[in-house]
Amino acid sequence: MNVPETDGELLYNIVLENKYSKALEIGTSTGRSGIYIAWALSKTGGKLTTIEINRGRYEEALQNFR
């Protein structure tokens, strides 16, 4: 299940408000939550590491990140 836009915005705001510079996401799925997290981390100078075990979801997420 993809993260709804409202949840993505919440993740984005949490990263910015706390000035996080690192994040680890376990279970990338299609990358939607990772995009919000990475977007916020790009403003704090941070880095996202995300892990996905399923090859198909990994490839879909990779395309979405691009």
Per-residue pLDDT tens over the stretch 22-39: 999 999 999 999 999 999
Give dist(CA 56, CA 38) in Å, integer.
21
Q: Which pLDDT value is given to residue 43?
A: 98
Dihedrals φ, ψ of 19, to 5°? 55, 40
pTM for the whole thing?
Answer: 0.92
CA distance 45 to 19: 9
- What is the total residue count of the chain? 66
Residue 52, C-beta contacts closer than 8 angstroms, at least 6 positions apart: 27, 28, 29, 58, 61
